[in-house]
Amino acid sequence: MSRTGPASPKAGGRPIRLGPRSVAALLLVSLVGVAAFGWPLLADPSSALVSRSLDAPWLLAALLPLLVAVVLATIADSGLDAKAVAMLGVLAAVGAALRPLGAGTAGLEPMFFLMVLSGRVLGPGFGFVLGSVTMFASALLTGGVGPWLPFQMLSMGWFTLGAGLLPGGRVLRGRGELALLAGYGAVAAFAYGMVMNLQGWVLLQGVGSGISFRPGDPLTENLLRFLAYCAATSLGWDLGRAVLTVVLVATVGPAVLRALRRATRRAAFDARPAFQADGHDGHMDGDKSP
C-alpha cells in the first residue's frame, strides 16, 4: 500500500468544528453567562443584592476554566492542532491591537469587524474562543482589566460565535455575503452594547427613578426602564460601533475574507492521510513514484 498524502481540504474548511462535547461546553458557558448577566432581574427585593463588581472575580474564575473546557472539547471532537492554535493566537493578537486604535471614541472599535469575518470563515466554536481570548488580550494590552472584563469576554464570545452560525457558509459569496455580514455586524454591535449595559445598569438602584433598576419590580417594568437607560446612555456609542463595523466589512471585508480562506486552505485543517493499495507488494510505501 502506498500513502498518497493528505487529502485536499475543502474550501472554507474550519479548524474548530462543533461536535457533541464542544456544543455541551458552549452551552454550559452560555448558561453561566446568562445567569451572571440576568440574575438581578429575578432577585427578590429582600435579597442581598450587592454591587456586581463583587461577582466579577468569581465569574472570571469560572469563565477561564470553562473556556479551557471548550478548547479541550473541540480537541476531542475535531482534533484541534497546532496550526489552529497558531491561527487563534495570530487573530487574537491582531484583534487586541485593533481595539486601541479607536480608543473607544464614540464607540469606534475596529476589532468588531475582524471578529465578524473570523467567525464567518472559521466557525462558531473557533469564534467563541477567539472573541473571548481577544477581549482578554486587549484588556491586558490597554490596562482595561476590571470587574467588567469577564462580562466583556462572554459578550464578545457570543458576538463572534453568532457570525459563525450565519447561513450559507459554503455557498454564499460576493455582495450577498458582504450584505449578510454587514447586517449581522450592525445588529450584533447594538446587541453587544445592550448586553454590556445590563452589567452596569443594575448598579443604578435608586439613581434617576425613570431609568434605574428596581429590585423586585415586575420584569416587564424593569425591561422598559432598561431600554430607556440604553437609549439615554449608550445609543450613540452603539450606533458608532455599528456604522464602523458596516463600513469596514463593506470596504476591506472582501480582502480579509480572501486572506482568511486562503490561510485556512493552505493550513489544510481538514486534511487526513489516505492510503491506497500498491500492486507491487503489500508493504507500506511512502510517496514513491511508480
Mean pLDDT value of segment 176-195: 93
Could you say which DSSP state residue 206 is in? T
CA distance to 51, 109, 171, 184, per residue, from 242 (Å): 30, 9, 26, 9
Quick one: pLDDT at residue 248?
A: 94
Could you say which DSSP state residue 9 is in? P
- Provide the H-helix boundaries in 79-145: 82-102, 111-122, 124-142
d(CA 182, CA 248): 9
Q: Which residue has the cell 490596562?
A: 143
User: Residue 186, Cβ neighbours under 10 Å: how many?
Assistant: 19
User: Residue 145, Cβ neighbours under 10 Å: how many?
Assistant: 11
User: Which of 187-196, 199-208, 264-273 has the lowest average pLDDT?
Assistant: 264-273
pLDDT tens for 252-265 read 999 999 998 888 77
Mean pLDDT value of segment 56-62: 63
- Which grid cell sits at 1? 500500500
Could you say which DSSP state residue 17 is in? -
Closest listed residue to residue 53, CA positions, set 116, 145, 128, 122: 145
Beta-strand pair 273-276/2-6: antiparallel
CB 167 within 8 A of CB 130: no
Q: Which amino acid is at 226?
A: F
User: Which of 49-58, 61-70, 129-138 has the lowest average pLDDT?
Assistant: 49-58
- Domain chopping of the chain, boundaries: 16-268
Closest listed residue to residue 139, CA positions, set 186, 100, 195, 184: 100
Single pTM value for the model? 0.76
d(CA 27, CA 175): 33
- Provide the H-helix boundaries in the chain: 20-38, 56-78, 82-102, 111-122, 124-142, 149-164, 175-201, 219-233, 235-251, 253-267
- 116 burial class (0-12, 13-18, 19+ CB within 10 angstroms)? buried
Quick one: pLDDT at residue 50?
A: 47
d(CA 284, CA 276): 9
**3-class DSSP state for residue 278?**
coil
- Higher pLDDT pick, 60 / 20: 20
- Higher pLDDT pick, 77 / 144: 144
Mean pLDDT value of segment 14-29: 72
Check whether 183 has a pLDDT greater than 90. Answer: yes
Q: CA angle 113-126-193, nearest 5°?
A: 40
Report the top-level CATH class of 16-268: mainly alpha
65 CB-near residues (< 8 Å, 6+ apart): none
**3-class DSSP state for residue 232?**
helix
Q: What residues pair up with 286 in beta bridges, in sequence order?
A: 3
